[in-house]
């Protein structure tokens, strides 16, 4: 769990240029982390690469917060 | 050379305008994936010519209206070159007839290759170009997509669609430093237009202020310009290469 969160956090910090402290499980990509819809698409792409999985468009639509992403990845492992 | 070290994919590059675009990009320094659907021997000739220029090239068969084949093609290009900087959506067909006589199948075939193909190829390269934070997409439309043309309802609809798709894609991808432009050739001498009757050709000539038909080179050089850094502040535009036919 910690490992997934750490890796997800690193991607978010790199991609969105936010401070690590802002990346909490409750943080919404769009509302709290300043991502636009293209940023979210890119984040999903990077998560796919990082965790070597394919995330369908339907699943991607349900990933709105950092916690959603972490839970999704854990559920697929 | 303005495209030194760039990696390009040109669809429909075995013949006509696509062939000339692939060669021109190579002359400007790019390595080129040469897509074809039927003419493998001709595609291999283009590859050989590019290799003689000292660039890397390979031929790849793909039906651009088939999403799985398109995904494979783009993957092959990225595997070969390690990146992809330029996509030229050139593949196209015609199945002309008056609207009243046009078969539904002929409509679908032309829309699938000429419009859906552009969508699929663009979608497939976007991931790589977004990662690179750099990319150039050039769509080969047609002047008839702007002006309309009797007997080409399917082709005109597809090409007008390509122009609209160009603008939307340009807006969606601009923030990632990917530019998307279209060129709209007028009457260019190729295998595709050689089929027209002499009467039709003479009639068309009267409508061209520069009073000559274009050469595939005319289109290829503008395409190479749009692919270069010189055009980095242009996106969403359609450049007419038509001797002044439509202003």
Chain segment B88-103, per-residue pLDDT in tens: 999 999 999 999 999 9
**Residue in chain A nearest B126 by alpha carbon:** A42
Residue B198 pLDDT level (bands cut at 50, 70, 90): confident
Residue B34 has pLDDT above 60, yes or no: yes
Residue B36 φ/ψ region, left for φ over 0, alpha for ψ in the -120 to 50 degree band, beta for the rest: beta
Residue A1 has pLDDT above 60, yes or no: no
Residue A2 has pLDDT above 80, yes or no: no
Residue B171 has pLDDT above 80, yes or no: yes
Look over chain B and give the mean of its residue pLDDT values, rounded to a whole number: 96
Residue B191 pLDDT level (bands cut at 50, 70, 90): confident
B160-182 per-residue burial string, b: 16 or more CB within 10 A, e: under 16: bbbbebbbebbebbeebebbbbb
Burial class (CB in 10 A: 0-12, 13-18, 19+), B88: buried
Sheet containing B178-185: order of strands: B57-61, B31-36, B7-10, B86-89, B135-140, B178-185, B238-241
In A, which residues are within 8 Å of B127 by CB distance?
45
B217 close to B24: Cβ distance less than 8 angstroms: yes
Residue B6 pLDDT level (bands cut at 50, 70, 90): very high
**Cβ–Cβ contacts within 10 Å for residue B98, how many?**
10
Percent of chain A with pLDDT over 90: 90
What's the pLDDT tens digit per position in A52-75?
A: 999 998 999 999 999 999 999 999
For an interface test with B, which of A38, A47, A60 has the most B Cβ atoms less than 10 Å from its Cβ?
A38
B35 close to B64: Cβ distance less than 8 angstroms: yes
pLDDT at B192: 66
- CA separation for the pair B124, B131 (Å, rounded): 13
ipTM: 0.82
Q: Do B175 and A42 touch (CB under 8 A)?
A: no
Residue A12 has pLDDT above 60, yes or no: yes
Predicted TM-score (pTM) of this structure:
0.93
Residue B193 has pLDDT above 90, yes or no: no
A45 touches chain B (CB under 8 A): yes
Task: Tell me what the mean pLDDT of segment B30-46 comes to.
Answer: 97
**DSSP secondary structure letter of residue B51:** H
- CA separation for the pair B20, B50 (Å, rounded): 11
Percent of chain B with pLDDT over 70: 100
Q: Do A45 and B172 touch (CB under 8 A)?
A: no
Q: Do B127 and A45 touch (CB under 8 A)?
A: yes
Q: Do A42 and B130 touch (CB under 8 A)?
A: yes
**Residue in chain A nearest B131 by alpha carbon:** A42
Residue B1 has pLDDT above 80, yes or no: no
A25 touches chain B (CB under 8 A): no
pLDDT at B215: 95
Query: In the structure encoding, which two tokens stand for residue B147, read together?
Result: 């002006």
**Residue in chain A nearest B174 by alpha carbon:** A38
Residue B235 has pLDDT above 60, yes or no: yes
Q: What's the half-sphere exposure (Cβ side, CA atoms, 13 Å) at A31?
A: 8
Task: Tell me what the mean pLDDT of segment B55-65 comes to.
Answer: 98
């Amino acid at each position: 769990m910690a490992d997934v969160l750490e890796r997800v956090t690193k991607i978010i910090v790199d991609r969105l240029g936010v401070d690590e402290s802002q990346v909490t499980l409750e943080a919404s990509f769009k509302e709290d982390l300043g991502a636009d819809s293209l940023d979210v698409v890119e984040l999903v792409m990077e998560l796919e690469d990082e965790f070597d999985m394919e995330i369908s468009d339907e699943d991607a639509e349900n990933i709105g917060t950092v916690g959603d992403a972490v839970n999704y990845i854990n559920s697929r492992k | 050379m303005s495209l030194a070290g760039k990696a390009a994919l040109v669809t429909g590059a075995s013949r006509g305008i696509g062939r000339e675009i692939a060669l021109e990009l190579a002359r400007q320094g790019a390595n080129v994936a040469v897509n074809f659907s039927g003419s493998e021997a001709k595609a291999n000739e283009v590859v050989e010519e590019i290799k003689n220029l000292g660039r890397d090239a390979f031929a790849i068969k793909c039906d651009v209206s088939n999403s799985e084949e398109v995904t494979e093609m783009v993957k092959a290009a990225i595997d070969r070159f390690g990146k992809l900087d330029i996509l030229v959506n050139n593949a196209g067909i015609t199945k002309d007839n008056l609207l009243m006589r046009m078969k539904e199948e002929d409509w679908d075939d032309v829309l699938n290759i000429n419009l859906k193909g552009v969508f699929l190829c663009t979608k497939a390269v976007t991931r790589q170009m977004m990662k690179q934070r750099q990319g150039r997409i050039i769509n080969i439309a047609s002047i008839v997509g702007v002006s309309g043309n009797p007997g080409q309802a399917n082709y005109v609809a597809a090409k007008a669609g390509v122009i609209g798709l160009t603008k939307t894609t340009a807006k969606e991808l601009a923030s990632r430093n990917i530019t998307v432009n279209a060129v709209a050739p007028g009457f260019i001498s190729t295998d595709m237009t050689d089929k027209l009757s002499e009467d039709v050709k003479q009639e068309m000539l009267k409508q061209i202020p520069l009073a000559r038909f274009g050469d595939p080179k005319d289109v290829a050089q503008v395409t190479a310009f749009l692919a270069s850094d010189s055009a980095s502040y242009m996106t969403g535009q359609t450049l007419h290469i038509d001797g002044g036919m439509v202003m």
